[in-house]
């Protein structure tokens, strides 16, 4: 409990910094969970640079972009009623999710050393499936998120789908779902 109170104090004093660091930490932790529990790499097979890359993505891209989006969304649609949550979810899923995914996938590709041509081909191949898969899960998650989770506790971490090939389902906003994307 003392750790939670310290976190809340830090969040109150420095909300932007703490949210960005939390997003990076959750993405790094999600990658550790993915490598150790899903892929069963063990400590000797753990790709530490991949974990660092995911944590960096969280701090440098996902946290700031999604944190900013949530602030804009709460200004566009103030309120916490069920109707407000529904409006926020619709705007998030129709407007933000496709754009975010279209930026996130090429960024991951670039960080993995893909050429511009290979990155474009990967985006064209993976984007439609990733966006469709997003719509299976995230509208319901976001509806709950926007209705129940206060703005300062909303985070974004990608969710890994263990399927043999990497796919981004969509940024998972509530911090209580931990997973990661295979790089």
Each residue of 55-95: pLDDT tens digit? 999 999 999 999 899 989 999 999 989 999 999 999 999 99
For residue 155, is it within any domain?
yes
How many Cα neighbours within 13 Å face the side chain of 38? 20
For residue 183, is it within any domain?
no
> Would you state the pLDDT for residue 155?
57
Mean pLDDT computed over 22-41:
93
**CA gap 37, 47 in Å, rounded:** 14
Tokens of 175: 């911090």
Q: How many domains does the chain have?
A: 1
For residue 181, is it within any domain?
no
> Would you state the pLDDT for residue 102?
95
For the chain, the average pLDDT equals 83
HEC secondary structure over 18-64: HHHHHHHHHHHHHHHHHHHHHCCCHHHHCCHHHHHHHHHHHHHHHHH
Mean pLDDT computed over 117-124:
96
> Would you state the pLDDT for residue 179?
32
Q: Grade residue 167 by pLDDT with cuts at 50, 70 and 90.
A: very low
Question: Model confidence over 132-150: pLDDT tens digits?
Answer: 999 998 899 999 989 988 8
For residue 182, is it within any domain?
no
> Would you state the pLDDT for residue 91?
97
For residue 64, is it within any domain?
yes
Tokens of 39: 């892929």
> Would you state the pLDDT for residue 12?
87
Q: Are 179 and 36 in contact (CB under 8 A)?
A: no
For residue 154, is it within any domain?
yes
Mean pLDDT computed over 105-124:
94
For residue 180, is it within any domain?
no
For residue 66, is it within any domain?
yes
Domain hosting residue 126, numbered range = 2-174
């Amino acid at each position: 409990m003392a750790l939670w109170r310290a976190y809340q104090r830090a969040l109150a004093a420095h909300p932007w910094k703490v949210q960005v660091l939390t997003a990076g930490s959750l993405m790094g932790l999600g990658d550790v969970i993915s490598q150790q529990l899903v892929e069963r790499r063990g400590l000797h097979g753990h790709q530490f640079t991949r974990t660092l890359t995911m944590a960096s993505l969280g701090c440098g891209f996902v946290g700031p972009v999604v944190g900013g989006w949530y602030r804009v969304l709460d200004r566009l649609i103030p309120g916490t009623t069920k109707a407000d949550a529904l409006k926020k979810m619709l705007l998030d899923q129709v407007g933000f999710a496709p754009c975010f995914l279209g930026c996130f996938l090429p960024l991951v590709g670039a960080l993995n050393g893909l050429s511009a041509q290979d990155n474009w081909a990967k985006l064209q191949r993976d984007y439609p499936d990733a966006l469709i898969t997003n719509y299976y899960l995230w509208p319901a998650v976001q509806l709950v998120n926007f209705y129940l989770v206060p703005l300062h506790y909303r985070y974004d971490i990608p969710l890994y789908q263990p399927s043999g090939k990497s796919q981004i389902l969509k940024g998972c906003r509530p911090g209580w779902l931990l997973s990661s994307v295979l790089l």
